Amino acid sequence: MLDDPWFPRFASKQFLTDLTPLLQKRGQSGPDPDFVNTSLALCRHPYQTGSLFALPYVGNSQLFFYRKDLFEKYNLKEPLKWDDVLAAAKTIQEKETEGGKIYGYVMRAAQGNAAVADFMPIFWAYGGEMFDASGKPTVNSAEGIAALKFMLELGKYSPPGYASFNADEVSAHLLQGTAAMSINWQAWISAFSDPSKSKVIGKMGFTTLPGSAKSGQAEIGNWLIAIPKDAQNAEAAVDFLLWATSAEQMKLSAQRGNPPTRKSLFQNSDLLAKFPAYPAQLKSLESSRPRPRTPQWNEIENAFGIFLSKANSGELSPEEAMNQANAEIEKIIQRGQ
């Protein structure tokens, strides 16, 4: 089982079994067309077009979480642009002072994965790209620096200490009703209707990521299942993969809170009744994009996240952070060549 950013490393090193011949033996020319295209694209190397080395098992992608009761109270529309988010954060934080302060926004900016996960949808919306067509890092473009400046503006409406926040701190603020908006993963949705965890039952809205110069796109975060290259029981293993990702078994997994990767299950009446955010989840997943498909992603993400966090903590200016990040990413790429 692989978190999708790990997949390029495993596939490029030829650690995985090509599934197509095994599927053909079973009368299948390829994977089931019921799988969401963006999920299936992650399972191919090269990305989207190459051989099939995995099947998608958990269809996680980011969503935008917001307090729909506060949006209604202040006549705010569901945010379509990041500027709408900033304006709503300002309005809510300035007006919601009775019974304890509500921060307009909360985000993760801890070093490493946390800061990068919350930044990438802003970065992409502003037109930023981590690499150009030749593979040269370009995070310090004008678009990239503008995106980081915007992240810092959002930070003015986030709780103190957000530069060290990870998922648990963000979710705690949302669940306790002390913050109004955030990017978060679909796996957290069920907690908001759990009386033992949530003070905002029935008050949260879930929608796709806002845009800016470009349409909003979530970061995809699927879990994939694959077979090691020299597996002694590959025939039995592929039978397991097909069983585990079948509609019947994936529905059971979905009922326990794992977002599916099959279009039919996002439209299943039983699951829709239990998970009313499924239409937004499917829309987010279908329009999502992956983290750069490089075997060095883990190292790149860690380095990039350090500089993003330093900008959010005030240690570096946005320009310094992005210039230093770009130089470090270039070194990582060169080491891997």
Question: Is pLDDT at 32 greater than 90 in this prediction?
Answer: yes
Question: Is pLDDT at 97 greater than 80 in this prediction?
Answer: no
- In whole angstroms, give the CA distance from residue 308 to residue 154: 14
Residue 226 DSSP label:
E
Task: For residue range 134-175, list pLDDT tens digits in order.
Answer: 999 999 999 999 999 999 999 999 999 999 999 999 999 999
Residues in the chain: 337
Mean pLDDT of 293-313: 97
Q: Tell me the pLDDT band of 188, cut-offs 50, 70 and 90.
A: confident
- The domain limits of the chain are 2-61+219-287, 62-218+294-336
Q: Do domains 2-61+219-287 and 62-218+294-336 have the same CATH topology?
A: yes
Please give the structure tokens belonging to residue 234. Answer: 């590959």
Which of these ranges, 39-53, 179-193, 321-335, has the smallest mean pLDDT? Answer: 179-193
Mean pLDDT of 177-181: 97
Residues 6+ apart with CB under 8 A from 213: 125, 126, 127, 143
Q: Tell me the pLDDT band of 196, cut-offs 50, 70 and 90.
A: very high
Give bridge partners of residue 205 from the DSSP assignment. 66
The overall average pLDDT reported for the chain is: 96
Fold of the domain spanning 2-61+219-287? D-Maltodextrin-Binding Protein; domain 2 (3.40.190)
Question: Is pLDDT at 99 greater than 70 in this prediction?
Answer: no
Fold of the domain spanning 62-218+294-336? D-Maltodextrin-Binding Protein; domain 2 (3.40.190)
Residues 6+ apart with CB under 8 A from 263: 34, 35, 36, 282
Question: Is pLDDT at 100 greater than 80 in this prediction?
Answer: no
